[in-house]
Amino acid sequence: DQQVKQNSPSLSVQEGRISILNCDYTNSMFDYFLWYKKYPAEGPTFLISISSIKDKNEDGRFTVFLNKSAKHLSLHIVPSQPGDSAVYFCAAGGSQGNLIFGKGTKLSVKP
């Protein structure tokens, strides 16, 4: 059973608009969450994270929101740029130290 779910395999957005990527989790023991970005033929790179004690974390154009009661987090990219086109992975971790990854969402930002 998937503990971390990214239900949208793909998302297409116009340049300059907002991109919203969603992630749901089932394990209430997770207490930190991360987003990774992956370009083809490269390894994933860390983008932004959030602890369960917060509900929002911002870094430039990227903001992650956490709704613990709904076990839901989202990544907002504003404004979206063509260079943001990549696969985005949501990951969750807890006291065991391992990260559980979602299957990823492929974002396409069109000029």
Beta carbons within 10 angstroms of residue 85's beta carbon: 18
| Residue 41 makes contact with another protein by CB under 8 A | yes
Of residues 64-93, which lie at the interface with another protein (CB under 8 A)? Answer: 89, 91, 93
- Choose which of 13, 21, 23, 34 interacts with another protein (CB under 8 A): 34
Task: With beta carbons less than 8 A apart as the criterion, state whether 99 and 46 touch.
Answer: no
Give whichever of 3 and 15 is closer to another protein, judged by the CB atom: 3
Which tokens go with 1? 């059973």
Q: What is the separation of C-alpha 20 from the centre of its chain, rounded to a whole number of angstroms?
A: 9
Q: Which of 32, 65, 68, 79 binds another protein (CB under 8 A)?
A: 32
Of the candidate residues 60, 83, 97, 111, the single one contacting another protein (CB under 8 A): 97
Binding residues for another protein, total number by CB under 8 A: 30
Q: Distance (Å, rounded) from C-alpha 90 to C-alpha 102?
A: 5
